[in-house]
């Protein structure tokens, strides 16, 4: 798998061994980290490559989506950090422009992911893919 480190294309190769839960625990034999819907293997392969690139799974837990997108695509990324209720002038227009240019876009929430939804129905401390930006 190819990644971009400081703008330089870097190839990462991994073996076919993946960390799985011990058989003595519930869910034994299932992957510890990336999980897929059905029998897909690519999420575990991609995550293992990314973990090797960063020297371990612990290093890639959490974080910001911007640097990850840059490392996966080699494209420049832009990040906006703001507090609850704060308005970023021109942010919606930037999202619409990103939609028009077919940019990959994502959003993340502050806090700690403990598997519970907040009052807005989203998981704190989690990243989300922005599928589209449209004015209706």
For the segment 98-133, what is each residue's pLDDT rounded down to a tens digit?
Answer: 999 999 899 888 888 787 888 888 888 888 889 999
pLDDT (tens digit per residue) in 11-50: 999 998 988 888 888 878 888 888 787 888 888 899 999 9
CB 20 within 8 A of CB 30: yes
Domain edges within the chain: 1-61, 63-136
Distance between CA atoms of residues 114 and 27, nearest Å: 19
Question: Which pair of structure tokens corresponds to residue 46?
Answer: 């991609």
87: Cα separation from own chain's centroid: 24
pLDDT (tens digit per residue) in 15-24: 989 888 888 8
Tokens 């929430």 found at? 109
Question: What's the predicted TM-score (pTM) here?
Answer: 0.72
């Amino acid at each position: 798998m190819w990644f971009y480190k400081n703008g330089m294309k870097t190839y990462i190769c991994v073996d076919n061994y993946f960390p799985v839960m011990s058989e003595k625990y519930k869910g034994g034999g299932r992957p510890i980290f990336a999980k897929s819907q059905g029998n897909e293997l690519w999420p575990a392969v991609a995550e293992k490559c990314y973990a090797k690139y960063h020297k371990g799974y612990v290093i890639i837990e959490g974080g910001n989506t911007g640097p990850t997108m840059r490392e996966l695509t080699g494209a420049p990324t832009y990040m906006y950090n703001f507090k609850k209720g704060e308005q970023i002038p021109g942010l919606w227009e930037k999202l619409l422009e990103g939609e028009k240019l077919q940019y990959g876009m994502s959003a993340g929430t502050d806090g700690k992911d403990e598997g519970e939804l907040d009052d807005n129905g989203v998981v704190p401390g989690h990243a989300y893919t922005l599928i589209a930006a449209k004015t209706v």
